[in-house]
Amino acid sequence: VESMKELPSGAGKIPRLNAVVLGEALASEEDDLVVPSEDFSRQALVSSPQQYLEMYSKSIQDPAGFWSEIASQFYWNETWGSEVFSENLDYRKGAVRIEWFKGASTNICYNALDRNIKAGLGDKVAIYWEGNELAQDGQLTYKELLEKVCQLANYLKSVGVRKGDAVVIYLPMLMELPIAMLACARIGAVHSVVFAGFSAESLAQRIVDCKPKLVITCNAVRRGPKTINLKDIVDNALIESTKNEVPVGLCLTYENPSAMKREATKWQDGRDVWWQDVVPTFPTECPVEWVDAEDPLFLLYTSGSTGKPKGVLHTTGGYMVYTATTFKYAFDYKPSDVYWCTADCGWITGHSYVSYGPLLNGATVVVFEGAPNYPDAGRCWDIVDKYKVTIFYTAPTLVRSLMRESSKFVTHYSRKSLRVLGSVGEPINPSAWRWFFNVVGESRCPISDTWWQTETGGFMITPLPGAWPQKPGSATFPFFGVQPVIVDEKGNEIEGECSGYLCIKNSWPGAFRTLYGDHERYETTYFKPFAGYYFTGDGCSRDKDGYHWLTGRVDDVINVSGHRIGTAEVESALVSHPQCAEAAVVAVEHEVKGQGIYAFVTLIEGVSYSEELRKSLILTVRNQIGAFAAPDKIHWAPGLPKTRSGKIMRRILRKIASGQLDELGDTSTLADPGVVDQLISLSDC
């Protein structure tokens, strides 16, 4: 059986493909193998493991040649120099640095809109917008989208936004959200989208960090049966940021009339401006600001295991090439597709695979403002039928929540248009995978289980739907140009069937370049744990056929419904409560969310626990971070298990939280072993 080909020294290795490559009947050994239909494979961009292998080998042996050939399909105002990329991932050899296409100038908005329009897609629908309520919808062709983007870009210029300036965007899934992102990109401004589920304090923290020229928001949004007053949240955030010496003098506010009339909106004259009053008065053409491939495109804040959120910085050229290419291959994109990704643009998935990746391909994208279970659990399939969606990309948490409802909500709709499904955010458990595959996709649509991160910009390990026999729950093999390695605690690469820490060797075009304002933290967090590699923070195993199985975070990051949240952030929110003395947060398995947040809380002397206090602690976390970070459980803790040096032993807390009381292990090193029994006795309070 063919296993590993040796490559010239310095280059990486191709993955073990073993039996799959040779077309051996894996199915006989692996009952779980799901093979794409011949019809699907025949029409696919990559239709066999062999074809993948050829392309993959080229991408690893000659990354410069591979990526420059792809990059030449885009428009560059000036091309790059002799070096396609240059990098240093080894901090021992100097500062960590990644550069792709440096010296070339381009514009991602131009490539997504103008270039596609020039190629004849002007009248093609770029965005179908579906509102919260049934029958509330809209659409924009590529030409119309460009006009809207140009008007906003011109407005931004008129208020003094220049290349390199930051713009914070706090919007729900209206068309104005991708419009705002593209308008910033057009003039070289750096957008920082903050998910509109974050609280005023979280928004303020991000504003203080990146000091935007203005904030773009809307007055309110309907989500399911609820109305959320976003403008109030922004107002509070701006008060907070002013206290921290970052006053923002301009708040461009879109009136979202189906949620709230402008008369009902709190207003600060001089600072607040209605989008509808100013933006449409600007010309529908706006010249492009050419930027260097390595100029920043956006900042997106994400949680780490310690400290405040990190501003992940992506640059222009590499990100453009990478998101477009991964989108195309991982979803087997064809011009006739209608694509819907349920993610919000407030997360990286919405950046790379609602906005940039699909639009760069000239795709038709569905943007959905509402909640997937409103008015009922059939909403997604209603939308699929309405727009004849062919590619549907979502998160395991949504699959699991819909799976709990009657399958009539699915089968009531035709879903005939669907041909590719996608999953992202956390490992998809095999039973959810099967329900998604069998019930939603009628066993006809391959599932692309895409593993990647905010930091990676785009897909890293993903099936190519026509190429791979799939194993439910495995993200399969690396994308072109990506060299995943599994290392042990000492940082030694382990080969063959194994499990360990997932690292990436060498750079890829979509990699983040730094943490905004803190390159040292960038190096410490990602490049120092295992010298010479990018460390992902995930555990991973590789099976005998070379398939990758992601096993979740190995650091103190919790993945709640595919949203990343640091235990330290939740803890610091809890201890800010006047009656909380100490808190320790761990992840527990959660049937729908994947992981839930479990908080052990010690109250200050003299305060006793109550239902009211529990609610007030949870509210504190909602107010400081956002509703999605609210603990699922508060466990009263008279004391926490600590070592003699005062370190909290989370290992023990995790066991208590998950009820694995017979696996507590050695508790004799605790300063006070008695706290463990105390905690166990309080489990049900």
- State how beta strands 251-254 and 214-218 pair: parallel
Among candidates 361, 314, 368, which has minimal Cα distance to 115? 361
Structure tokens at 74: 């885009």
Between 122 and 552, name the residue whose CB sits nearer to ligand WT7. Answer: 552
Using CA atoms, how far apart are residues 241 and 200, in angstroms rounded to an integer?
10
**Three-state SS string across 122-168, please?**
CCCEEEEEECCCCCCEEEEEHHHHHHHHHHHHHHHHHCCCCCCCEEE
CB atoms within 10 A of CB 137: 16
Between 41 and 559, name the residue whose CB sits nearer to ligand WT7. Answer: 559
Using CA atoms, how far apart are residues 570 and 630, in angstroms rounded to an integer?
8
Q: Nearest approach, Cβ of 291 to ligand WT7 (angstroms)?
A: 25
Q: Nearest approach, Cβ of 654 to ligand WT7 (angstroms)?
A: 17
Q: Nearest approach, Cβ of 455 to ligand WT7 (angstroms)?
A: 7
Exposed/middle/buried for residue 76 (C-beta within 10 Å: 0-12, 13-18, 19+): middle
Bridge partners, residue 420, by sequence: 391
Q: Nearest approach, Cβ of 565 to ligand WT7 (angstroms)?
A: 9
CB atoms within 10 A of CB 599: 27
Q: Nearest approach, Cβ of 562 to ligand WT7 (angstroms)?
A: 6
Following DSSP, what letter does each residue of 47-107 receive, concatenated? -SHHHHHHHHHHHHH-HHHHHHHHHTTS--SB---S-SEEEE--GGGSS-EEEESTT-EE-
Bridge partners, residue 515, by sequence: 312
372-403 burial string, b = 16+ CB within 10 Å, else e? bbbeebbbbbbbbbebebbbbbbbbbbbbbbb
Structure tokens at 17: 């493909």
Between 440 and 640, name the residue whose CB sits nearer to ligand WT7. Answer: 440
Among candidates 644, 648, 570, 638, which has minimal Cα distance to 604? 638
Residues lying near ligand WT7 in the complex (CB under 6 A): 302, 348-349, 424-427, 449-454, 475, 536-538, 550, 552-553, 559, 562, 564
Q: Nearest approach, Cβ of 448 to ligand WT7 (angstroms)?
A: 9
Between 145 and 365, name the residue whose CB sits nearer to ligand WT7. Answer: 365
Between 397 and 536, name the residue whose CB sits nearer to ligand WT7. Answer: 536
Q: Nearest approach, Cβ of 601 to ligand WT7 (angstroms)?
A: 26
Structure tokens at 500: 């360990």
Q: Nearest approach, Cβ of 42 to ligand WT7 (angstroms)?
A: 27
Contact yes or no for 423/430 (Cβ under 8 A): no
Structure tokens at 497: 């069937």
Q: Nearest approach, Cβ of 569 to ligand WT7 (angstroms)?
A: 13
Which residue type is seen at 295? D
Q: Which residues contact 46 (CB under 8 A, 6 or more apart)?
A: 52, 55, 329, 332, 464, 466, 467
Between 235 and 538, name the residue whose CB sits nearer to ligand WT7. Answer: 538
Q: Does 555 qualify as catalytic in the annotation?
A: yes
Among candidates 304, 364, 346, 305, which has minimal Cα distance to 125? 364
| 3 state SS of 296 | strand
Using CA atoms, how far apart are residues 586 and 581, in angstroms rounded to an integer?
17
Q: Which residues contact 381 (CB under 8 A, 6 or more apart)?
A: 409, 410, 412, 413, 415, 440
Q: Is the peptide bond before 375 cis (omega within 30 degrees of 0)?
A: yes
List the catalytic residue out of 62, 555, 666, 677: 555
Between 279 and 482, name the residue whose CB sits nearer to ligand WT7. Answer: 482
Q: Nearest approach, Cβ of 304 to ligand WT7 (angstroms)?
A: 10
Helix (H) or strand (E) holding 200: helix 200-210
Contact yes or no for 228/180 (Cβ under 8 A): no
Between 562 and 626, name the residue whose CB sits nearer to ligand WT7. Answer: 562
Using CA atoms, how far apart are residues 393 and 410, in angstroms rounded to an integer?
16
Residue nearest to ligand WT7 (CB): 454
Among candidates 287, 384, 284, which has minimal Cα distance to 340? 384
Q: Nearest approach, Cβ of 462 to ligand WT7 (angstroms)?
A: 8
Cα 614 to Cα 575, 577, 579, 585, distances in angstroms? 13, 11, 11, 15
| 3 state SS of 337 | coil
Between 122 and 539, name the residue whose CB sits nearer to ligand WT7. Answer: 539
Between 294 and 449, name the residue whose CB sits nearer to ligand WT7. Answer: 449
Contact yes or no for 405/372 (Cβ under 8 A): no
Among candidates 23, 11, 57, 20, which has minimal Cα distance to 478? 57
Between 387 and 516, name the residue whose CB sits nearer to ligand WT7. Answer: 516
Tell me the catalytic residues: 555
